[in-house]
Amino acid sequence: ADCWTNEPSVYIPWAERNGARVMLYEFGSWVQEFLDGSSNLEQMLDATRWTPTAANCQCQAFTVITDPARRDALAAQVADFYRLYADILADKEHTAERLAALGLDPAFGMHPHMQAAVPAFVKNVAAGRDRLFFSAPAVIIVHADANEVLPETACAFATILLVLTAESLGLG
């Protein structure tokens, strides 16, 4: 069977028969990789299988970015948002209207410590320092469908397991 089909009923059994414990997908130019569990990245993702979730829904999903150009593009988009957000926070008289113009709830609450960190982040980015991904070779985005049971909690727990596994692997 052709393992590079978009049909899960074909590629998942093929991957399992060939020792894959983790499957990575990168959309755009469509990259699909079956991995044997030996790399640090695979071990980190494999650890998340043990994430406790509400009703054991296991709704967390992962997008892994390893392409430097895509990682840099994502970092640029996040930096652009935070530059704009810092500008909005500085405009005390019009904060609510400006957030609403972005499609954000004016009651959008960011923890005061995070709000205080926004200008410092923007300043570091302007100085050419990577304070988002810290030059990591891979970026893992943890996400879940908002309609699942407690998706934020599932993502938070999965992220904790990713961080703890990275530390145990000596990745800091």
Find, among 67, 59, 79, the residue nearest to 33 by Cα.
67
For the segment 48-96, what is each residue's pLDDT rounded down to a tens digit? 888 888 888 888 888 888 888 888 888 888 888 888 888 888 888 988 8
16-41 pLDDT, tens digit each: 666 555 555 544 444 455 566 678 88
pTM of the model: 0.70
Q: What is the 3-state secondary structure (H, E, C) of the chain?
A: CCCCCCCHHHHHHHHHHCCCCEEEEECCCCEEEEECCCCHHHHHHHHHHHCCCHHHCCCCEEEEECCHHHHHHHHHHHHHHHHHHHHHHHCCCCHHHHHHHCCCCCCCCCCHHHHHHHHHHHHHHHCCCCCCCCCCCCEEEEECCCCCCCHHHHHHHHHHHHHHHHHHCCCC
- Quote the CA–CA distance of 141 and 65 in Å, as a whole number: 8
Rounded-to-integer distance, Cα 29 and Cα 20, Å: 22
What is the reported pLDDT for 30? 45
pLDDT in tens, 129-170: 888 888 888 889 898 888 889 988 999 999 999 999 999 999
Average pLDDT score over the chain? 79
Sorted by sequence, the CB contacts under 8 Å of residue 55 that are 6+ apart come out as 149
Predicted pLDDT of residue 165: 92
pLDDT at 1: 43
What distance in Å separates the CA atoms of residue 62 and residue 6, rounded to the nearest whole number? 18
